Structure 1
Amino acid sequence: MPVEVLEDFEEARRIHALSPRGAAALLRLVVQKLCPILGSDKKDINPAIGELVEKGIITGALQQALDSVRVIGNEAVHPGELNLKDDAVTVHSLFKLINFIIEKAITEPKAIDAIYQSLPAGKLAGIAARDKSSLSAVSDEA
């Protein structure tokens, strides 16, 4: 988990039994802080998630996870349709979503990149040449 969000995540973990609403609000803050880490330049959370989708940085499942935490976290702070005062089950689901987001958007790509970067230099050069050829062929067709 990125250090930029770890403190908020841990605080949410510490208080979730006493204040599910407070934990949900902190997890929403985690999502807001994750958006720039994932590649968004937008300041506000909803447009930031939209930008990540538009750029193709996140998949549908990640978008749904981010938006679920965003909406439920918002509802915890602002009067709305959800009442999270004693809803530990929903907050537990938000923790699972944050872990899913971290795993799919940060941990797995880093693990794949580490393995890929360990390939022999000649093999990496061959792959780069192949991909450059593929990109040239596509732009020639256009």
Structure 2
Amino acid sequence: MATYILPKFGEIRFSCPHCGALAHQYWGATMVKWLKKDASPARWGIDELKKVYEEQKELDPKERFSDFEKLPEYIEAASGKIMASRHREDPYSHLIYQLDVSKCDSCEEIALWMGDKMVFPAVGPSVFANQDMSRDVRKLYDEAGAVFSTSPRSAAAMLRLALQVLLKELGGKGTNINDDIDYLSDNGLSPQLVKVMHSLRIIGNESVHPGQISVDDDPSIAEAMFRLINEVIEQLVTRPREQEELWLMLPENKRKPVEKKINKTEK
């Protein structure tokens, strides 16, 4: 298991709250560029920005508007991503005290710090999302992390929903979590992982309905759920991907005889 170092204000090396890598961190102060009186921040829709970008690309460079080079990051930011601009703007900016930024040298994502507390990204227990976690599952996982400290019960409910989304991605119908687990079990899922999935399901269910399990009384239950959903992804997504990548590294003339034998056996 990779070494984990808790993110801490002012430190130049810790485990990134985005990618989990133990990496060098660059620090920066935050600056504000005030708008004109009575002006307010603009928020453009991502589809509209993409349309403008495609239209501008067709024009002669001399005819493009001045912010053309910034459009790709405007589009990225319009998706809701909190990020640092790649373009420098110094004039008329003012320092914001007690609000700082760290940037990971590995993934280049940023974290925001208010005083000495990291306020973005909101993370739960020291369990980073598996890199193979899909965007939809990751969104729910991060939401669970954001509320874990104040409501472990809410975190457990969100992780149960994250499991349901994951099961659909793995071949389930997505309408009944119990049926989806049974489907994977019937198709070779190990008994141990079946137990893990049912644990996530049952704890998640009892977090929203009165039952014998009180997640708020024992937050370690919800904390374990973060680890378990990562374990499911590790075994069902990451390992098969790594195995396939290793196989494809072999020369084709070495793979074909083996694949031929496998196909005969399957028939």
Same fold at TM > 0.5: yes
Q: Are the equivalent residues in 2 in contact too, given 1:19–1:86 (CA < 8 A)?
A: no
82-91 vs 92-101, which moves further: 82-91
Select the residue among 109, 123, 138 that pairs with 1:6: 138
1:72 equivalent to 2:203? Answer yes
Task: Pick the structure with greater CA Rg.
Answer: 2
Cα separation, 1, equivalents of 2:192 and 2:228: 10
Stretches of structure 2 that go unaligned for 5 or more consecutive residues are: 1-132
Select the residue among 171, 179, 182 that pairs with 1:47: 179
Q: Summarize the alignment of residues 113-132 of structure 1 with structure 2, pairs less than 5 Å apart.
A: 113-132=244-263
Task: Give deviations 1:35-88, integer Å, cap 9, x for gaps.
Answer: 0111223520000000000011x2112111111000000000111111222321
Cα separation, 2, equivalents of 1:41 and 1:117: 31
Cα separation, 1, equivalents of 2:266 and 2:221: 45
Greater percentage in strand: 2
75-84 vs 38-47, which moves further: 38-47
Q: What RMSD over aligned residues (CA atoms) do the two structures have, in Å?
A: 1.3
Greater percentage in helix: 1
Cα separation, 2, equivalents of 1:100 and 1:124: 30
10-19 vs 32-41, which moves further: 32-41
1:86 equivalent to 2:217? Answer yes
1:110 equivalent to 2:222? Answer no
TM-score (norm 1): 0.89
- Greater RCO (CA < 8 Å, at least 6 residues apart): 1
Measure how far apart 1:14 and its partner are. 1.2
* Cα gap change, 1:42 to 1:5, in 2 (>3 Å): closer
Amino acid at match of 2:135: V
Cα separation, 1, equivalents of 2:134 and 2:195: 20
Cα separation, 1, equivalents of 2:260 and 2:253: 10
Amino acid at match of 2:239: E
Number of residue pairs matched by the alignment = 135
Cα separation, 2, equivalents of 1:29 and 1:15: 15
1:20 equivalent to 2:148? Answer no
TM-score (norm 2): 0.49
Q: Are the equivalent residues in 2 in contact too, given 1:42–1:51 (CA < 8 A)?
A: no
Cα separation, 1, equivalents of 2:194 and 2:206: 18
Task: Give deviations 1:98-117, integer Å, cap 9, x for gaps.
Answer: 11111111111111111112
Which consecutive aligned stretches of 4+ in structure 1 deviate over 4 angstroms post-superposition?
A: none
Q: Are the equivalent residues in 1 in contact too, given 2:165–2:174 (CA < 8 A)?
A: no
14-23 vs 36-45, which moves further: 36-45
Give percent identity, aligned residues only.
34
Q: Are the equivalent residues in 1 in contact too, given 2:153–2:216 (CA < 8 A)?
A: yes
Amino acid at match of 2:205: N
